[in-house]
Every structure is written in structure tokens, then in C-alpha cells.
Amino acid sequence: MPVLASALDPRSAAYAENRAAMLERLGELEAAVTKAREGGGEKYTNRHHARGKLLARERIELLVDRDAPFLELMPVAAYGSDFPVGAGIVTGIGIVAGGPCMIIANDPTVRGGAVNPYTLKKTQRAGDIALANRLPMVNLVESGGADLPTQADIFIPGGRVFRDLTRFSAARIPTVAVVFGNATAGGAYVPGMSDYTIFVEGQAKVFLAGPPLVKMATGEEADDETLGGATMHATRSGLADFVAADERDAIRLARDVIRRVDGASTAGAVPPDPDAPAPRFDADDLLGVASADLRVPYDPREVLARILDGSEFDEFKPLYGTALVTGWARLHGHPIGVLANARGILFSEEAQKATQFIQLANAASVPLLFLQNTTGYMVGARYEQAGIIKHGALMINAVSNSRVPHLTVNIGASYGAGNYGMCGRAYEPRFLFAWPNAKSAVMGPQQLAGVMSIVSRQAAQAKGQPYDEEGDASMRAMVELQIEQQSAALAMSGRLYDDGVIDPRDTRTVLGLCLWLASRKAPAHAADPAFGVFRM
């Protein structure tokens, strides 16, 4: 295969400027992630430890295989909202007993692990990923239940979490609930709907109503253990399948369950090839590749040269529709088709080239990687007349109905319908990640402010009123700033429009893991429609 060359000059001023800007964005990401990692803060962390309990991340680290990679998903959920960064849960894909699993862990140090609207959305997205990639689901449960002030946003949509659990079961994807503490009211249905349940002795509290509510409702006086302790559920109600001596023992049991059942959940998964050749160029230079100024397009081949096996890239139609680079490659041994914006704008040729390429990938059953850096489809009379909408629709049609796994990384701009054509969130890629410099919006901030200014000016003219130029300037500045902030990667990630903001240097690893997950296919016995396993 042809090997990509690099024209990147690490001594150039542009490189230095790009790198400085990227490091600044990475600093912001790290600050946000630190907030998530700190959970409920020192006081609650210490209190939790003092009770002899493990933190959510400690539970996860113990659950996953030693030295295995762990991809945390949506770490900065709720960033920019009124809720704590991370949204009170930690979720990600870890390797448990040799198999990848979706892990969801409540963080009980964050408001008792209460579920707020972001928690719910993050949980549901984790469920979508698990279902699409047939990942066994391990819930590490310790949550006080719904955040009552926001119950109106949680209660009705929240039912989906329990529905999903049993649909996993029906799809023959195992689900395990490990209960470390509270799992009350609605939360009780997480173990209730799981294939396997493990309760920690002396800690698990699983009931529809606790002692005060029972007293209010029926006058009965009963303690926590009688209503919902591990031993009670293991010996009387049958809700607990295993009683664990302590938290560590519970994690041991969960690993044993996964070890037994994971093999049946997938067929033919292809792990990353240990012998795949590394890229010929240093991933560290990815920090200097992406333009500090999004209006300056850059060559995505500089990115590809740093993430593809051996930097080898077999470009398809290199002379046609050159603002979109398409071609074949391998990444950690997995064959992929790549679509990457080269000069921002998508013209009719690019749209048609993409359409053909997507069909070819489907014909060959090769997953597709979309590297977004687009300002959208070209506008203007000439292009409208040439059928840019029709050609854009071709591409969106192809993306929408493509059956191969899609992975999307926003490495710059993702504006307008370009976001759709390049497999934005609404087009359900298996995974969608953004670099810290990325922005997503209906259009660029200046354009948007400018459009608003023109529309206002026209309205003033129509009414015969004088236009307030001073007010216009401040309005434009304000709108630009607002759009700038809203479209930034961290803000988008906070709203859960992606699966996480990643360090550009991690791109190859993240994609390699995702391609492995995407190669998990339903085994024959999962094809028949079935009920989830009924808990008896």
C-alpha cells in the first residue's frame, strides 16, 4: 500500500501556534476531567473511605483486568450545566476476564449517587453503545435514586433504563448488577432486571420503600436489613443470586460471572492485532497538526499518517472531489474506509464521491471512519443550480442507510449539514469523539452573527427605521461569543452530543478499541426473538 508522506514542519511558527492552542484546550479538558474525578470532593470521599467502601473508580479498576486499557466514556457529562461534572456516574469500556464490557458505576460521593437528567442521558447512551456493540453490561450500583427536584425530567424517560436491561437479556447480552449500597425505589429495578445480581453483605439495601416510607404507608416497623439486606434477598426474596463477603469479593464474583457468560454474547470478534505496524510518524505531532484557527483548513493526511497502521493509505479517487479525502487503510489490523474533509467545504463532487465510497465500503463490509472538519455544503447560486442539495442528500442518504459500523471523530469544525453528511451524532455512529479544538454548530459564529445582523438590518429597513449600528456591533459580538462557547468541544460533550473529548494522541488507541468492539457480532442463538431471562 502507498505510504503517506508528511509535510509537517515541527519547527514552523504555525506548528508552534497550533500546538500551544491545543495544549491550552487539553488543559481545559484536564481541568474538567479533574472535577469529574474528584466526585463529591474530599469530604465525601474521605467519609466513603472511612466506611470501608471503595470509590466508583476504585471499583472499576478492581473489576477490569490488570494492565488492560479502559476507555472512559462521557467523562465531562453535565459540563456547563448546574449539575456536577461527570453527572454522578462513571462509565466506560473495560476488559473483564478477557472480554470487553460496558461498566456503569454510580459515584455515591456525588449527592449520594442521585440520578439527574444528565445521569439518565449518560446511562442511556452507555446502554445504546453496549447494545450496538453487544457488550455485557456491569452495573456497580450505589445510588440514592432520583434527584427529586428534577424528577419531572427523569421519571418518565427513566423507565427506559429498565426496559433496556431486559432487552439486553433478550438479545442474549448478559447483564450483571453488583449492589454496594442503596438501590431503592426505581433503583431497585436495576438488580431486578439484571441477569445476575451480587449483593454485598451488610451494605446492599434494595427495597421499594425504606423504613420511614413503610411506616408512613402501612404503619409497619421494619429495619433496613429486613426490608432489603443482602442476606434477606439471598435467602428469602431470591433477588440476590450471590452474597459477597465484602466489596472486593463482590467484584471477584462479578468477574467470575463475566468469565462464564461473555463467550456466548458475541461471535467472531477481532481484537486489535498485536503485530500491526505502528504509524511511521510520531503521534505527538498531532498536537501541532490541527489549525489553531478553525478557519484555516489542514490536510487530514497528516492525521492519517499518525493513526493508520504503517501510515499506509490507499487513496480512492484522489483527483476527484479533492476537498474530501477517501481511501482504504488498516488501523490496529482492522480494515477501514476513511472519509476526511480536506478543505472544509463539501461540493457536489465530494458528496458524490462520498456516496460511492460508502456504498463500496458496504459492499466490502468494511467499517468507516469519518474525520470531520467541515464548514458544510457549498452555498451560492452556481452550486444550488448544480444541485448541491440533491448531492448532499445523496451523501446523507448513503450515511443514514449504511450498514457497516461508523466511527466519527470531529478533528476541527462540524458545521451545518456537513455534520450530517459526515455522520454526526444524529446519524448514529457506533462512537463519536471530538478533539479538544473541535466545534459543532449550525454555522460558524461569525456567519451566524452576520446573518442575524443582516436579517435585523433588513427588518429595520422594511419598517423604515434607522439601524442601530452600535447595537448591531455589540449584538454581533455577544452572539459570536455565545455560539463560540456553545459549539466548543467541552460544551458539546457536556451536553452529551459526543462520547467524549479525547487527546489527539489517543486517537489511534481509541479507534483501535472501538473497531474491536464494532467487530462483535450477534451469535446465531441470539437471532431468535426472546424474552429477557425472568428473575425467579
Partner 1 sequence: MIRRVLVANRGEIARRVFATCGQMGIATVAVYSDADEASPHAREADYAVRLPGNAPSETYLRGDLILDAARRTGADAVHPGYGFLAENAEFAAAVLDAGLTWVGPPPKAIAAMGSKLEAKALLAEAGVPILPSWTEPNDVSEFPVLVKASAGGGGRGMRIVRAKRKLAEAMAIAGREAAAAFGDAAVFCERYIPNGRHVEVQIFGDTHGTVVALGERECSIQRRHQKILEESPSPAVDDELRTALCEAAVSAARAVGYVGAGTVEFLLDPDGAGRDQRDNSAGGDQRYNFAGGDQRCNFYFLEMNTRLQVEHPVTECVLGLDLVRLQLLVAEGRPLPFTQTPPMRGHAIEVRLYAEDPANGWRPATGTLHRFAILGEENAFAPLSHAGVRVDSGVADGSVVSVHYDPMLAKVIAWGWTREEAARSLESALTRATIHGVVTNRDLLVRVLRTPEFGEGGTDTAFLDRHPEVFPPLLTSREDQALAALAAALTGAAARRRTAAWGGLPAGWRNVASMPQIAVFDTPWGRTEVRYQLHRDGRLARWSAHIDDELTVDVAVVRLSPDEVVFDGAGVRRTFRVHTEDGVSYVDFLDGSVALVEVPRFTLPVAELPAGSLVAPMPGAVGRLAVTVGQEVAAGDLLLTLEAMKLEHTVHAPASGVVTELYVEPGRQVEAGDVLAVVDSRSHDQ
Q: Is 275 in the site for partner 1 (CB under 8 A)?
A: yes
Least separation in angstroms between residue 70's CB and partner 1 is 6
Q: Are 174 and 265 in contact (CB under 8 A)?
A: yes
Render 458-518 in DSSP notation, one character per residue: HHHHHTTPPP-HHHHHHHHHHHHHHHHHHHBHHHHHHTTSSS-B--GGGHHHHHHHHHHHH
Q: Is 28 in the site for partner 1 (CB under 8 A)?
A: no
Among 15, 17, 35, 37, binds partner 1 (CB under 8 A): 37
Query: Closest CB to partner 1 among 399 and 513?
Result: 513
Query: Closest CB to partner 1 among 263 and 318?
Result: 263
Query: Closest CB to partner 1 among 29 and 115?
Result: 29
Identity of the residue numbered 271: P
Render 365-389 in DSSP notation, one character per residue: T--EEEEEEEEEE--SHHHHHTTHH
Assigned C-alpha cell, 393: 442528500
- Return the percent helix, strand and coil in the chain, to nearest 5: 45, 20, 35
Q: Is 505 in the site for partner 1 (CB under 8 A)?
A: yes
Antiparallel, parallel or unpaired: β 89-96 and 99-106? antiparallel
Cα four-point dihedral sign 219, 225, 229, 234: negative
Closest CA to 130 of 474, 520, 530, 419: 520
Q: Is 333 in the site for partner 1 (CB under 8 A)?
A: yes
Among 38, 128, 153, 273, binds partner 1 (CB under 8 A): 273
Interatomic CA distance for residues 125 and 131, integer angstroms: 10
Query: Closest CB to partner 1 among 145 and 494?
Result: 494
Among 6, 28, 45, 70, binds partner 1 (CB under 8 A): 70
Q: Write each residue from 279 to 318 as x if it is in contact with partner 1 (CB under 8 A), else as -, in one continuous string.
A: ----x-----------------------------------
Least separation in angstroms between residue 8's CB and partner 1 is 19
Select from 67-75, 289-297, 370-378, 484-492 the region that touches partner 1 (CB under 8 A).
67-75
Least separation in angstroms between residue 275's CB and partner 1 is 7
Burial 133-172 (b: 16+ CB within 10 A, else e): bbbbbbbbbbbbbbbeebeebbeeebeebbebbbbbbebb
Closest CA to 126 of 95, 149, 105, 96: 105
Report the length, in residues, of the chain. 536
Q: Is 506 in the site for partner 1 (CB under 8 A)?
A: yes
Q: Is 276 in the site for partner 1 (CB under 8 A)?
A: yes
Q: Is 509 in the site for partner 1 (CB under 8 A)?
A: yes
Q: With CB under 8 A, what is the number of residues at the site for partner 1? A: 46
Q: Is 512 in the site for partner 1 (CB under 8 A)?
A: yes
Q: Is 502 in the site for partner 1 (CB under 8 A)?
A: yes
Q: Is 84 in the site for partner 1 (CB under 8 A)?
A: no
Q: Are 242 and 199 in contact (CB under 8 A)?
A: yes
Q: How far is CA 126 from CA 123, 142, 267, in A?
A: 5, 17, 21
Least separation in angstroms between residue 322's CB and partner 1 is 32
Least separation in angstroms between residue 260's CB and partner 1 is 15
Select from 62-70, 167-175, 319-327, 438-446 the region that touches partner 1 (CB under 8 A).
62-70
Assigned C-alpha cell, 308: 493508520
Interatomic CA distance for residues 388 and 262, integer angstroms: 47
Select from 15-23, 54-62, 374-382, 469-477 the region that touches partner 1 (CB under 8 A).
54-62
Distance between alpha carbon 246 and the CA centroid of its chain, in Å?
A: 32
Q: Is 68 in the site for partner 1 (CB under 8 A)?
A: yes
Interatomic CA distance for residues 265 and 238, integer angstroms: 25
Interatomic CA distance for residues 501 and 507, integer angstroms: 10
Q: Is 58 in the site for partner 1 (CB under 8 A)?
A: yes
Least separation in angstroms between residue 136's CB and partner 1 is 13
Q: Write each residue from 233 to 272 as x if it is in contact with partner 1 (CB under 8 A), else as -, in one continuous string.
A: ------------x--xx-xx--x---------------xx
Select from 11-19, 115-123, 135-143, 500-508 the region that touches partner 1 (CB under 8 A).
500-508
Q: Is 75 in the site for partner 1 (CB under 8 A)?
A: yes
Among 4, 21, 22, 33, binds partner 1 (CB under 8 A): 33
Query: Closest CB to partner 1 among 179 and 514?
Result: 514
Among 40, 99, 145, 181, binds partner 1 (CB under 8 A): 99
Interatomic CA distance for residues 99 and 174, integer angstroms: 12
Please, which residues have CB within 8 angstroms of residue 353's CB and are 6 or more apart in sequence? 316, 317, 320, 321, 324, 326
Among 26, 39, 53, 72, binds partner 1 (CB under 8 A): 72
Query: Closest CB to partner 1 among 276 and 533?
Result: 276
Query: Closest CB to partner 1 among 68 and 389?
Result: 68
Q: Write each residue from 420 to 449 as x if it is in contact with partner 1 (CB under 8 A), else as -, in one continuous string.
A: ------------------------------
Q: Are 376 and 416 in contact (CB under 8 A)?
A: yes
CA dihedral 292, 294, 297, 301 (to 10 degrees): 60
Q: Give the 3-state secondary structure of 112-175.
A: HHCECHHHHHHHHHHHHHHHHCCCCEEEEEEECCECHHHHHHHHHHHHHHHHHHHHHHHCCCCE
Contact residues for partner 1, defined by CB under 8 A:
33, 36-37, 57-58, 60-62, 65-72, 75, 95, 98-100, 245, 248-249, 251-252, 255, 271-276, 283, 332-333, 500, 502-503, 505-506, 509-510, 512-513, 516
